Structure 1
Amino acid sequence: MNDWASYRLQDFIPFTADVYLRLLERMGETFWPLHLLTLALGAAALVLAFKGHTRLACLLPAPLWAFVAIAFFMQRYAELNWAGGYVGYAFIAQAVLLALIGLTGFGLDTTPRRTSPPVVIGAAITLFGLVILPLMALLTGSSWYQAQVFGIHADPTAITTLGLALILLRSLALWIAAVIPALWMLVSGLTLQVLNTSGAGALFAILAIALLGVVWKSIESCSAHHSG
């Protein structure tokens, strides 16, 4: 027990900020210009969500989660941290979950109110993951290849999907689909905090807002069910 108490968070992150940023850059260099396709898929999912094509909107991010699982975590992140492979399996599980929801229609909110606060929150979070997060790297003087992009890097993939879930899903399905993106955002935020790099505060803020949206939408769904 005393041995475990002596560990600090830093002990579980066996790499430096420079090494981690170089990992992000390698992903950008290796897979450019795939970024254009993944961003287009993310934008398409958002548009489809608001047009009522909920199943397709849920299916589009699924293969991107599998890609990030293999290309980012299993093939690269795992070289820096032994836990990378396990996180990769979690991302594959999320890919399977999104595909199953899209194929079966389980938990899909087929009549989302566009002006509902949770849906507005979801749209804002989705746009943050698709647009703002990549721009943050450029505004801080980093290279384009270090910019984190939806479907290529883990953070924007988790953020964007969490935003889409707020628009597309309800009740139990929303909670289930939010677990893995939320946990990764927490882990990534803590990692960035330990490495003393920018971005941790933004991740924690987005996570808190997203969880507020999930709770809010759950309360709305319960109210609608009881009134019906």
Structure 2
Amino acid sequence: MAEWWSYRLSDFLLFSPRTYHRLFELYNAAIWPAQAAAVLLGLLMLGLLRRGGPVAGPAVAAILAACWAWVAIAFHLDRYATINWAASWAAAAFLAQAALLVWAGVIGGRLSAPPRLDAAGRAGVGMVLFALLLQPAIGLLLGRPWRQAEIFGVAPDPTAIGTLGLLLALAGPSRWVLMVLPALWCAATGATLRAMSAPDAWVAPAAALLALVLTGWQGLQRRRPS
């Protein structure tokens, strides 16, 4: 029996890269036109963030919760679980994130749109735009067909990155708690893509690290006496 340190990430992979990307192709075909609606919801959240007001924070939290619940059920349970037994645990985590967003942002009102975005908040908006518009194009640049694109609101990776960006742009005492599960997913999906030797394996972990660093910096800036 080989020693445990002789194993590589790829030894734990339960599916081939072709099977993984084909999964997205079948999923996208089955849920169309939900992708278009999800992108419009993403743009709506940016509009709410810019407009501000007392409704913006709860509305963004409610939309994000719906996206996380959709991905939990429609993707993880109905699709990903057919090739990966751990998908049921991922679904539970995504449903937990949806519940946290409802609890903190909708019921508790602990998220709000700041009157003015600071540098970190603007970077958060940039992350959202990346998740909405640029991340789906990564696969095309790597030679995968557009039918396998991962879309914000219905696929897990851009949903997690976009959520981190929105939380970075929002204000409220619950942001750190709400960033935990999206950041953990970014690390997990990075490991999965790394095991598949995917060139874009670094994207989600890098986005999570950036969001966490900027949130920490943002907190320090706000504690400084004016």
Closer, same or farther: CA 143–100 of 1 in aligned 2, 3 Å: same
TM-score by length of 1: 0.89
- Is structure 2 residue 86 aligned with structure 1 residue 91? no
* Matched AA of 1:183: L
* Matched AA of 1:72: F
**What is the alpha-carbon distance in structure 1 between the residues aligned to residue 3 and residue 88 of structure 2?**
25
Closer, same or farther: CA 12–186 of 1 in aligned 2, 3 Å: same
- Is structure 2 residue 76 aligned with structure 1 residue 73? yes
* Aligned position for 2:122: 120
Give runs of aligned pairs for residues 51-62 of structure 1, distance below 5 A: 51-52=51-52, 53-62=56-65
- Structure 2 counterpart SS, 1:126: helix
Closer, same or farther: CA 169–26 of 1 in aligned 2, 3 Å: farther
Between Structure 1 and Structure 2, the one with more helix by share is: 1
Give runs of aligned pairs for residues 1-228 of structure 1, distance below 5 A: 5=5, 7-52=7-52, 53-114=56-117, 116-171=118-173, 173-223=174-224, 227=225
Q: CA RMSD in A?
A: 1.9
* Matched AA of 1:19: T
Q: How far off its partner does 1:191 sit?
A: 0.9
- Structure 1 counterpart SS, 2:152: coil
**What is the alpha-carbon distance in structure 1 between the residues aligned to residue 115 and residue 180 of structure 2?**
21
Deviation digits for residues 126-166 of structure 1 (CA, Å, limit 9, x no counterpart): 11111100122233332222110011110011011110011
TM-score by length of 2: 0.90
- Structure 2 counterpart SS, 1:36: helix
Closer, same or farther: CA 18–65 of 1 in aligned 2, 3 Å: same
Contact 1:27–1:152 (8 Å) recurs in 2: no
Contact 1:112–1:119 (8 Å) recurs in 2: no
Contact 2:61–2:101 (8 Å) recurs in 1: yes
Q: Which runs of 5+ in 1 are unaligned?
A: none
Contact 1:39–1:149 (8 Å) recurs in 2: yes
Q: Which runs of 5+ in 2 are unaligned?
A: none
Q: How far off its partner does 1:221 sit?
A: 3.5
Runs of 4+ in structure 1 off by over 6 angstroms are none
Q: How far off its partner does 1:12 sit?
A: 2.8
Report how many residues are paired. Answer: 222
Contact 1:170–1:221 (8 Å) recurs in 2: no
- Structure 2 counterpart SS, 1:200: coil
* Matched AA of 2:47: V
* Matched AA of 1:108: L
Contact 2:114–2:171 (8 Å) recurs in 1: no
Q: How far off its partner does 1:103 sit?
A: 1.8
Q: How far off its partner does 1:88 sit?
A: 0.4
Closer, same or farther: CA 111–152 of 1 in aligned 2, 3 Å: closer
